[in-house]
Amino acid sequence: MMEVLDRIDGVVIGLLIGFECGAPLVVFVGNPRETAIAARSLTELDVSAIGSELALLFEEGDPTRPLVVGRIVAPAHKNRELQVVREGDRVVIMGEERIELRCGLASIILEKDGRVTIRGSHLTSQASGTNRIRGGAVHLN
């Protein structure tokens, strides 16, 4: 059984296991509860961070009040830079697993397995010539 602490001083490494009402849910050594605890955060976290290690502090040393101060970044990933190759009027952006373009409510996601997801509050497809939709199956509405 894990030791429950009355007060935690200093940084503790925890794990992000999900979200509840937008708040990150964390587990850590010394957790006074048997379930994850909702934390406050100094850094923006989203579902892609689930499973990541986090640096935690505790408000007034209280183990029931975790504060996420940052995400632990593996050294191999820290120096990874976006690779952009420009050749004349062509720009190539490479990603190993996934590329996401986001702006407000709109997003375009390209995944390694070939899936492409386009989301937005309004979507327009326009062509001065033929506008084709092709696929193994095409579903409308």
pLDDT in tens, the chain (141 residues): 455 568 888 999 999 999 999 999 999 988 888 899 999 999 999 988 999 999 999 999 999 999 999 999 876 655 555 666 666 666 777 888 888 888 888 899 999 999 998 988 888 888 888 888 888 888 887
Q: Are residues 21 and 56 in the same domain?
A: yes
- Structural domain range at position 107: 82-119
Looking only at the bridges linking them, the beta strands covering 90-94 and 83-87 are antiparallel
Same domain, 30 and 53: yes
In a shared domain, residues 51 and 93 = no
Note the pLDDT of residue 32.
87
Q: Which of 114, 100, 118, 117 is nearest to 48 (CA)?
A: 100
Give yes or no: residues 64 and 103 share one domain.
Answer: no
Same domain, 59 and 17: yes
Is residue 1, in this structure, part of any structural domain at all?
no
Structure-block tokens of residue 3: 């030791």
Domain contains 139: no
Question: Which residues, including other chains, have CB under 8 Å from residue 10's CB and lie 6 or more apart?
Answer: 57
- Which amino acid is it at 73? V
CA distances from 28 to 2, 11, 80, 127 (A): 10, 11, 28, 54
- Do 16 and 66 have their domain in common? yes
Asked if residue 49 is part of any domain, the answer here is yes
What is the pTM assigned to this prediction? 0.51
CATH number, domain of 33, equals 2.40.50.230
57 in the same domain as 92 = no
What's residue 5's pLDDT? 61
8 A C-beta contact, residue 31 and residue 63: yes
Residue 47 has which token pair? Answer: 């579902």
